[in-house]
Chain A
Amino acid sequence: MPRLSHIAGWLLASLLLAIAGGVQAQSAVQQQQQQQGIDQPGNNAPVWREVRKEAQEHYTTVKGRETGVLVQSAGETWRQIRNGPVTFYGGWLVVLAVLVIAAIYFAMGPVKLHDKPTGRIIERFTLAERWAHWVMGISFVVLGITGLIILFGKFVLLPVIGYTLFSWLTALSKNLHNFVAPLFAVSLLIFILMYAKDNLMKSYDFSWFAKAPGFFASKHIPSGRFNGGEKVWFWGGVVVLSLALVGSGAVLLFPNFDQVRSTMQQASVIHMITGLLVIAAAIGHIYMGTIGVDGAYQAMRDGVVDETWAKEHHEYWYDEVKSGAKRAAGGAVPAGAPHMKEKQ
């Protein structure tokens, strides 16, 4: 087959030429600089320009990730962002969130029911929904606390408990953070899939926002299964911020994939900013889910709420369930509904 090998030879030759052309075009500037170095041996400026190029790899016998880089200035940028605005504003944001919540609690107290409980209960969350919530929620709290220790412990705990104890605590925090993270990621995805449908924005949610300030004053604002505030928390805090948190965390969690430093620096900044925002918001959510709203914690613990609670907090959802238009998940039906089935 002389013809075939002939053609193959031509193809190979033209391919090599094309590759060579590409490389030549790429390194034209570099070659110019190199030539300048040869023409003007006393002028080292081109060499140092080459050195200062960010993440420029040169030759080295030491094999490894970025060993050929002489200077990476991005590290200093990362340091300035982390030790500067992230630590300062992030720290005060968390403190502020606690203060605002404390102020609301002491000024207005928890949101209570107006009418007496009827004693009749409606299923609000199925067992699967509660599991998804609590696995995500508990792993989030572990991640949040350990993350805060890693970022702020140096300023808050270290002066109090000393170097040795703080190092143990931070090593424990780091390992807890790294090994609980996958649990959070998986439960987050399951949670989003389970809760997305009932968190879709409805027209009445916008009138909810208009009346939202009255929420803490125990004003009655009708809403669906989830109110406007809960939906914002779901889409903003859980979907957008937490997914960004998980994505950036994954980059940092697996340094074995040979990602370069700049990738990890960027991921780290995204991780810290989104993490602090979610923590600040979660402080509000945890307050309202525990001592802030009477009956809210029981709803997520036992999965059921009293009819009065349902009516006063989520009237449209109550109406739907009551009319039988929407069967409560799990088959539970409130008293007085077309299909009588009461829980004790």
Chain B
Amino acid sequence: MARMKFLVDAERCIECNGCVTACKNENEVPWGVNRRRVVTINDGVIGAEKSISVACMHCSDAPCMAVCPVDCFYRTDDGVVLHDKDLCIGCGYCFYACPFGAPQFPQAGAFGLRGKMDKCTFCAGGPEADRSDAEFKKYGRNRLAEGKLPACAEMCSTKALLGGDGDVIADIYRERVVRRGKGSEVWGWGTAYGPGKAGAAAGGKS
């Protein structure tokens, strides 16, 4: 079975926000929620600027899953971390714990009224029947069930954002690093998938 992962190539990302738009459009994400966002380091400094697209990384040891008081998270056979909005109580603990700021809530109201948590599903829907209306309304498109990869990665114009089987995308990335001779750091992999995992290129610092 494949182990689905996201990989962001900071050497290639041009901060076009195509992934953000693709995600919002494909999944009809609730207002106020951005399942994916592009963050730019050293913005405007020529030569030092780097952009990174961030969403749920579908961690191996997912902190959201560990702290959820109602245990509404589950992991699919593909290693995708999903959650059940029918069980979610909107406590916000996953949002405290997540290193990437992935879990978001449609509201941030007084008395802890946050609504149901929403996050990136790796375009894999939720616990409802695959490609059902109920699944689409709550979680967005189930592209994995259609044999496709996440919309964000598929739409990426520079292929900075790769989504798919961890071994395959790590091979693609490794080849790039060898060709260009720099930028071997795979952002977020150390945090999401643990240190020294197969496929992570040398220096996976963050």
Name the residue among B96, B100, B187, B206 with the largest chain A CB count within 10 angstroms: B96
Q: Specify which chain A residues have a CB less than 8 angstroms from the CB of B69 in the assembled complex.
A: 150-151, 153-154, 170
Give the shortest distance, in Å, between B30 (CB) and chain A (any CB): 13
**B residues near A38, Cβ cutoff 8 Å:** 45-48
- B173 CB–A CB distance under 8 Å: no
Q: Please count how many residues in chain B sit with their CB below 8 Å of the partner chain's CB atoms.
A: 59
Chain A residues whose CB sits within 8 angstroms of the CB of B168 once the complex forms: none
> Which A residues from 212 to 255 make CB contacts under 8 A with B?
252-255
Residues A61 and B42 in contact, CB atoms below 8 Å apart? no
CA distance A42 to B185 in the complex (A): 11
Supposing A158-B71, A255-B92 touch, asked if A44 and B183 sit within 8 A by C-beta, the answer is: yes
- B2 interface hit (Cβ, 8 Å): no
Task: Bits for B89-130, please: 1 = Cβ < 8 Å to A, else 0.
Answer: 111100111111100000011111110000000000000000
- Digit string of A21-59 for contact with B (CB within 8 Å is 1, else 0)? 000000000000111011001101111101110000011
Q: Which of A41, A51, A73, A153 contacts B182 (CB 8 A)?
A: A41
Which segment, of A160-168, A187-195, A327-335, faces chain B? A160-168
Interface membership of chain A positions 260-284, coded 1 if the CB is closer than 8 angstroms to chain B and 0 otherwise: 0100110010000000000000000
Nearest chain A residue, comparing its CB with the CB of B109 = A256
Cross-chain contact A44 with B46 (CB below 8 angstroms): no
Whether A70 contacts B182 in the complex (CB less than 8 A), given A75-B99, A174-B89, comes out as: no
How far, in Å, is B109 (CB) from chain A's closest CB?
6
Chain B residues near A166 (CB-CB < 8 A):
70
A-side interface residues, number (CB < 8 Å)? 60
A124 CB to closest chain B CB (Å) equals: 36
Within 8 A of A (CB), among B65-84: 66-72, 84
Q: Is B41 on the interface with A (CB-CB < 8 A)?
A: yes
When distances are taken between beta carbons in the complex, the residues of chain B under 8 Å from A258 are 108
Known: A60-B37, A167-B86, A255-B114. A69 touches B48 (CB 8 A): no
Contact B92 A52 (CB under 8 A): no
Q: Given A67, A71, A73, which contacts B37 in the complex, CB threshold below 8 Å?
A: A67
Decide: A79 near B42, CB < 8 A? Known: A37-B47, A255-B108: no
- Contact yes or no, B40 A58, CB < 8 A: yes
Closest to B69 in A: A150
Cβ of B155 within 8 Å of any chain A Cβ, yes or no, is no
Given the known interface contacts A72-B99, A75-B63, A79-B66, the answer about A58 and B111 at a Cβ–Cβ threshold of 8 Å is no
Within 8 A of A (CB), among B150-206: 181-183, 185, 187-188, 191, 205-206
| Cα–Cα, bound, A157→B148 (Å) | 39
B39 at the interface (CB under 8 A from A): yes
The answer on a CB contact under 8 Å between A256 and B41 is: no
Cβ of A126 within 8 Å of any chain B Cβ, yes or no, is: no
Contacts A47-B10, A58-B41, A255-B92 given; indicate if A163 touches B71 (C-beta within 8 A). Answer: yes
Question: In the complex, what distance in Å separates the CA atom of A167 from the CA atom of B63?
Answer: 19
Question: Which residues 20-34 of B sit at the A interface, judged by CB distance below 8 A?
Answer: 20, 32, 34
Which residue of B has the minimal Cβ distance to A35? B48
Specify which chain B residues have a CB less than 8 angstroms from the CB of A73 in the assembled complex: 99, 191
CB contact under 8 A between A253 and B110, given known A47-B50, A61-B38 = yes
Q: Residues of B contacting A62 with CB < 8 Å?
A: 20, 34, 37-38
A143 to chain B, nearest CB (A): 13
* B70 and A34 within 8 A (CB): no
Q: How far is the CA of A64 from the CA of B34 in the complex (A)?
A: 10
Q: Which of B44, B91, B96 contacts A150 (CB 8 A)?
A: B91
Q: Which residues of A contact B45 (CB under 8 A)?
A: 34, 37-38
Q: Is A66 an interface residue (CB 8 A)?
A: yes
Interfacial chain A residues near B70, Cβ < 8 Å: 153-154, 158, 163, 166-167, 170
Residues of A within 8 A of B183 (CB): 42, 44
A170, B89: Cβ atoms closer than 8 Å:
yes
Instruction: Please give 10 more A-B residue pairs, beta carbons under 8 A apart, in addition to A50-B41, A72-B101, A167-B87.
Output: A33-B48, A69-B39, A75-B96, A76-B97, A78-B97, A79-B97, A154-B71, A174-B89, A255-B92, A256-B108
A sample of 9 cross-chain residue pairs with beta-carbon separation below 8 angstroms, ordered by A number, consists of: A38-B48, A41-B182, A67-B37, A67-B39, A75-B98, A79-B67, A166-B70, A171-B90, A178-B111
Q: Which 10 A-B pairs have the closest CB atoms?
A: A38-B47, A59-B43, A37-B48, A62-B37, A42-B182, A34-B48, A167-B87, A171-B89, A59-B40, A75-B97
